[in-house]
Structure 1
Amino acid sequence: MSSIFRRAMGADFDRLHPALRRRFSVGLDSGEACVGAGTMERIWHGRAFVKPFLALGGSRNILVPRTGRHVPFTIENVPYADSFGRETVTFVRTFALPSGPRRFDATMVLAPGGDRVLDYLGTHQHLASDLHPTAEPDGSLLIRSGTHRFREGPVDVRVPALIGGDAEVRESYDEKRGRFLIRVRVTNRRFGPLFGYSGSFTVRYRDVRSLGVRAGLRPVREEIRA
């Protein structure tokens, strides 16, 4: 069984740079986990009115309610089978800000139908977003978000575009520097830019059987609704 990104992208996956193909092949079949470390050159926010929303999200490790430059950064991509038996890969990002570390947590599974990735955000998976990954002509990876849904107990609603955020992630590989480059930008269709960061990092691959899933990496609550 291939990785969730290879299955979602189909033949398009083979157009990625080889370094990106390996990184996004992390899964139970590959037996590899990927741990990255580097620096985010900039973490930014939009206008002042977004700060309360970022602070609320930050309480559940969704987005980062701080700005900064030259911030040490780690990302942990570890595959595991969740409590519903789905292959899942963590995308846990930790930003070592001067005020203390901040996390931006996501866990990803293959969406029903297999044509996209389902991204559960935060410690309790209250938010779920459809992700549509594509390979760019230069071999980089472009990920755009689609529909967002909010789940809490019996509540299961689609987040209106007016208050939601459209995410765009671009990841590439710089062969000269031997580093992955990443740029994340979240915008609102009415209010403009909300949040983003950009920087670079290197990675190490680990045998997932020996590494395992460390304490605190999995979400507190897992959501079955897609």
Structure 2
Amino acid sequence: MRQRRERSVFLEAMGSQAELLHPKVREYAEGPGGAEGERGVVVGEGVFRVAGSRFGRLNLIARPFVGPELLMTGFGRNVPFLVRNEQSLTPDGATKLTATRVFCFEGGEQRFVDELFVGPDRGTLTNVLGGAGRVELRLRCSATDRGELVLWSERAWLRLAGLRLRLPSFASVSVHVLHGYDERGGLQTVAARVRNPLLGTVLEYEGSFDAWPEQ
């Protein structure tokens, strides 16, 4: 029997736009199984020039609402990190990409976990954040004229007690992620920023890393 294969969430969402990505960015977006996205894992290791949240332990106030493995209490420069992207199928047959990022702050490790699914409209992704999956974003994805993958949020919801509540703008966050490739260093690059209209930047990370399929 032929093994079932699931397509990369990025390639499926982007459609023909994926052809505009830098070859190395596209390779990373394809995942461990290539364009058809076989089940598997890609791992990466690198250094963030800057990472975390300047609000520090104040972020603990929101943790009862958003759950663990989402908000950071650490902040630093030249922060080593690990990333693990696991592609799999949900019970209903949808492709899911689970990303686990481990930030190695001087005060100890902290994790940021999220899941990506193909969104309801062309060029969109559904992004479920945190270990409890209580924050949901609608992301738009595209390619820049330099071949970078760019993601930005359009809407946000809070999922609690079986409810899915659209967040008003003042309580919401906007996300912007730019993923590229450093030709000179031969490394993947990423710059991400999460902002709230009232508080400003609540999470950021920027740096470079190498990635390879897990054996």
CA deviation string 1:25-47 (max 9, x = no partner) = 12763325311100111114356
The gaps in structure 2 that reach 5 residues or longer are 1-5
Query: Equivalent residue of 1:149, what SS?
Result: strand
- 197-206 or 45-54, which deviates more: 45-54
Q: What residue number does 2:9 align with?
A: 4
Listed as ranges, the matches of 1:18-167 within 5 Å are 18-26=23-31, 29-31=36-38, 32-46=40-54, 51-53=59-61, 60-167=68-175
CA deviation string 1:60-85 (max 9, x = no partner) = 10132210111110111111112443
- Cα pair distance change 1:190/1:10, threshold 3 Å: same
For 2:8 and 2:200, locate their aligned partners in 1 and report how far apart those are by CA, in whole Å. 34
Q: What residue number does 1:198 align with?
A: 206
Q: What residue number does 2:192 align with?
A: 184
Residue 56 of structure 1, CA deviation: 5.3
Residue 128 of structure 1, CA deviation: 0.9
Letter of the 1:182 counterpart = V
Normalising by structure 2, we get a TM-score of 0.87
Query: Equivalent residue of 1:22, what SS?
Result: helix
| Aligned-residue identity in percent | 24
The gaps in structure 1 that reach 5 residues or longer are 212-226
For 2:86 and 2:52, locate their aligned partners in 1 and report how far apart those are by CA, in whole Å. 27
Letter of the 2:118 counterpart = L
Letter of the 2:48 counterpart = M
Aligned partners of 1:3 and 1:26 also within 8 Å: yes
- Cα pair distance change 1:55/1:113, threshold 3 Å: closer
- 126-135 or 19-28, which deviates more: 19-28
- Cα pair distance change 1:54/1:14, threshold 3 Å: farther
Letter of the 1:36 counterpart = G
Residue 58 of structure 1, CA deviation: 8.2
- 19-28 or 73-82, which deviates more: 19-28
Stretches (4+) displaced over 3 A: 46-59
